[in-house]
Amino acid sequence: MNKETVLNVEKSLDPEDWSALKELGHRMLDDMFEYLQTVRDRPIWAKPSNFAVASMNQPLPKLPQDAAEVYGEFFTQVLPFNNNNTHPRFWAWVQGGGTPFGMLADMLASGMNPNVSLGDHMPMHVESQVIEWSKKMMGFPDSASGLLVSGASIANITALIVARNHFNKDIKKKGLRAVPAQMIVYGSAETHNCVAKGVEVIGIGSDNFRKVPVDEQYRVRVDELRRMIREDREAGNLPFCIIGNAGTVNTGSTDPLEELAAVAKEENLWYHIDGAFGAIPKILPEFSKQLKGIELADSLSFDYHKWMYVNYEVACVLIRDKNVHREAFSVAVNYLAMHERGLSGGPDSFTNYGMELSRGFKALKVWMSLKENGILKYAEMVRQNLRQAQYLAELVRQNTTLELLADVPLNIVCYRFNPGGISDSELNRINKEILMRLHEEGIAAPSYTLLNGKYAIRAAITNHRSRLEDFDVLVKETVRLGNELIA
Amino acid sequence: MNKETVLNVEKSLDPEDWSALKELGHRMLDDMFEYLQTVRDRPIWAKPSNFAVASMNQPLPKLPQDAAEVYGEFFTQVLPFNNNNTHPRFWAWVQGGGTPFGMLADMLASGMNPNVSLGDHMPMHVESQVIEWSKKMMGFPDSASGLLVSGASIANITALIVARNHFNKDIKKKGLRAVPAQMIVYGSAETHNCVAKGVEVIGIGSDNFRKVPVDEQYRVRVDELRRMIREDREAGNLPFCIIGNAGTVNTGSTDPLEELAAVAKEENLWYHIDGAFGAIPKILPEFSKQLKGIELADSLSFDYHKWMYVNYEVACVLIRDKNVHREAFSVAVNYLAMHERGLSGGPDSFTNYGMELSRGFKALKVWMSLKENGILKYAEMVRQNLRQAQYLAELVRQNTTLELLADVPLNIVCYRFNPGGISDSELNRINKEILMRLHEEGIAAPSYTLLNGKYAIRAAITNHRSRLEDFDVLVKETVRLGNELIA
What pLDDT, on a 0 to 100 scale, did the predictor assign at position A3? Answer: 59
Residue A213's pLDDT is: 98
- b/e per residue, A92-128, with b = 16+ CB within 10 A? bbbbbbbbbbbbbbbbbbbbbbbbbbbbbbbbbbbbb
pLDDT of residue B6: 58
Q: How far apart (Å, rounded) are the C-alpha atoms in residues B220 and B218?
A: 7
User: How far is C-alpha A190 from the geometric centre of its chain's CA atoms?
Assistant: 17
Identity of residue A215: D
Contacts of A450 in chain B (CB under 8 A): 334
Query: HEC states along B18-68?
Result: HHHHHHHHHHHHHHHHHHHHCHHHCCCCCCCCHHHHHCCCCCCCCCCCCHH
pLDDT reported for residue A8:
59
How close A312 gets to chain B, by Cα (Å)?
Answer: 5
Please state, in angstroms and rounded to a whole number, the distance separating the CA atoms of residues B422 and B400: 14
| Confidence check: pLDDT of A301 > 80 | yes
pLDDT digits (tens, 9 = 90+) for A230-260: 999 999 999 999 999 999 999 999 999 999 9
To the nearest 10°, the Cα dihedral for A327, A330, A333, A339? -110
Contacts of residue B150 in chain A, CB cutoff 8 Å? 150, 356, 358-360
- Separation of alpha carbons B190 and A466, rounded Å: 54
**In this model, does residue A331 exceed pLDDT 90?**
no
Average pLDDT over residues B461-485: 98
Instruction: For chain B, positions 75-114, list CB contacts with chain A under 8 A.
Output: 77-86, 92-93, 95, 97-114
Q: Which residues contact B23 (CB under 8 A, 6 or more apart)?
A: none
Q: Is the pLDDT of residue A229 over 90?
A: yes
Chain B within 8 Å of A409 (Cβ-Cβ)?
no
Residue A460's SS3 state is strand
Q: Is B323 helix (H, G, I), strand (E, B) or coil?
A: helix
- For residue range B195-225, list pLDDT tens digits in order: 999 999 999 999 999 999 999 999 999 999 9
**Closest CA in chain B for residue A16:** B37
Nearest CA in chain B to A95: B115
Nearest CB to B303; choose among A170, A334, A358: A358
Q: Which of the residues A11, A44, A53, A78 would you substitute to probe the B interface, choosing the one with the greatest number of B C-beta atoms within 10 Å? A: A78
For A88, list phi and psi in degrees, rounded to 5. Answer: -65, -20
Q: Which residues of A touch B356 (CB under 8 A)?
A: 150-151, 153-154
Interchain pair A13, B370: CB under 8 A: no
The least confident of A1-5, A30-34, A177-181, B402-406 is A1-5
The predicted model gives B97-121 an average pLDDT of 98
Which of A342, A384, A447 lies closest to B436 in CB terms? A342
Return the bridge partners of B210, or none: B186
Class of residue B332 by CB neighbours under 10 A (exposed 0-12, middle 13-18, buried 19+): exposed
**Of B192, B229, B201, nearest in space to B449 by CA:** B192
pLDDT tier, B337 (very low <50, low <70, confident <90, very high otherwise) = confident
Q: CB B3: neighbour CB atoms within 10 A?
A: 11
How do residues B79-98 score in pLDDT, each as one tens digit?
A: 999 999 999 999 999 999 99
Per DSSP bridges, beta strands B299-303 and B315-319 are antiparallel
Query: How far B32 CA sits from the closest chain A CA (Å)?
Result: 7
Taken in order A148, A149, A150, A154, the sign of the CA dihedral is negative
User: Rounded to a whole number, what is the distance in Å from the CA of A465 to chain B's nearest CA?
Assistant: 5
Q: What is the pLDDT of residue A6?
A: 58
Instruction: Give the type of residue at A162.
Output: V
Cβ neighbour number for residue B462 with a 10 Å cutoff: 28
Q: Do B342 and A309 touch (CB under 8 A)?
A: no
Cα B244 to Cα B263: distance, rounded to the nearest angstrom: 11
Q: Label residue B10 by pLDDT band (50, 70, 90).
A: confident
Contact B173 A205 (CB under 8 A): yes
pLDDT of residue A338: 85
Residue A309 one-letter amino acid:
Y
In chain B, the N- to C-terminal Cα span, in Å, equals 82
The amino acid that residue A106 corresponds to is: D
A210 touches chain B (CB under 8 A): no
Identify any residues that bridge with A446 across adjacent strands, giving them in sequence order: A91
Residue A2 has pLDDT above 60, yes or no: no
pLDDT for residue A337: 77
What phi and psi, each to the nearest 5 degrees, are found at residue B457?
Answer: -80, 125
Rounded to whole angstroms, what are the CA distances from B222 to A223, B225, B237, B258? 57, 5, 19, 11
b/e per residue, B219-255, with b = 16+ CB within 10 A?
A: bbbbebbbebbeebeeeebbbbbbbbbbbbbbbbbbb
Q: Which of A6, A192, A312 to mutate to test the interface with B (most CBs of B within 10 A)?
A: A312
A376 touches chain B (CB under 8 A): yes
Give the Å distances, CA to CA, from A89 to A64, A173, A337, A468, B345. Answer: 39, 49, 50, 10, 18
Question: Which chain A residue lies closest to B129 (C-alpha atoms)?
Answer: A56
Q: Are strands B454-460 and B412-417 parallel, antiparallel or unpaired?
A: antiparallel
Cβ partners under 8 Å of residue A464, min gap 6: A96, A97, A99, A309, A381, A384, A385, B11, B12, B13, B14
Flag if B171 and A464 touch (Cβ within 8 Å): no
Establish if A155 touches chain B: CB-CB under 8 angstroms.
no
Whether A147 and chain B come into contact, CB under 8 Å, resolves to no
Is A70 in CB contact (< 8 Å) with chain B?
yes
State how far the Cα of B303 lies from the Cα of B318, in Å rounded to an integer: 11
Give the separation between CA A64 and CA A452, rounded to whole angstroms: 55
* Torsion (CA) A187, A188, A194, A198 in degrees, nearest 10: 20
Q: Tell me which chain A residue has its CA closest to the CA of residue B43.
A: A343
Which of A13, A82, A432 is closest, CB to CB, to B464?
A: A13
- β-pairing verdict for A454-460 and A445-451: antiparallel
Confidence check: pLDDT of A7 > 60: no
B7 with A467: Cβ contact below 8 A = yes
B292-336 pLDDT tens trace: 999 999 999 999 999 999 999 999 999 999 999 999 999 888 777
Identity at B380, one-letter amino acid code: E
- Reported as a pLDDT band with limits 50, 70 and 90, residue B76 is very high
User: CB-CB: which of B36, B77, B341 is closest to A111?
Assistant: B36
CB contact under 8 A, A121 and B82: yes
Of A105, A124, A103, A128, the closest CA to residue A114 belongs to: A124
Q: What is the pLDDT of residues A394-436, one digit of tens each?
A: 999 999 999 999 999 999 999 999 999 999 999 999 999 999 9
Residue A336 confidence (pLDDT):
77
Separation of alpha carbons A263 and A275, rounded Å: 19
**Distance, CA of B388 to CA of B376 (rounded, Å):** 18
Cβ-Cβ contacts under 8 Å between A and B: the total is: 590
Q: What is the mean pLDDT of chain A?
A: 96
The alpha carbon of residue B261 is apart from the nearest alpha carbon of chain A, in Å, by: 26
pLDDT-above-70 percentage for chain A: 98
Q: How many Cα neighbours within 13 Å face the side chain of B255?
A: 37
Hey, are the CB atoms on B312 and A358 less than 8 Å from each other?
yes
| Calpha distance A280→A349 (Å, rounded) | 27
Work out whether the CA dihedral B107, B113, B115, B118 comes out positive or negative.
negative
* Closest of A344, A382, A348, A410 to residue A131, by C-alpha: A348
pLDDT for res B338: 85
Q: What ipTM is given for this predicted complex?
A: 0.97
Contacts of B366 (CB under 8 A, 6+ apart): B130, B148, B304, B308, B310, B314
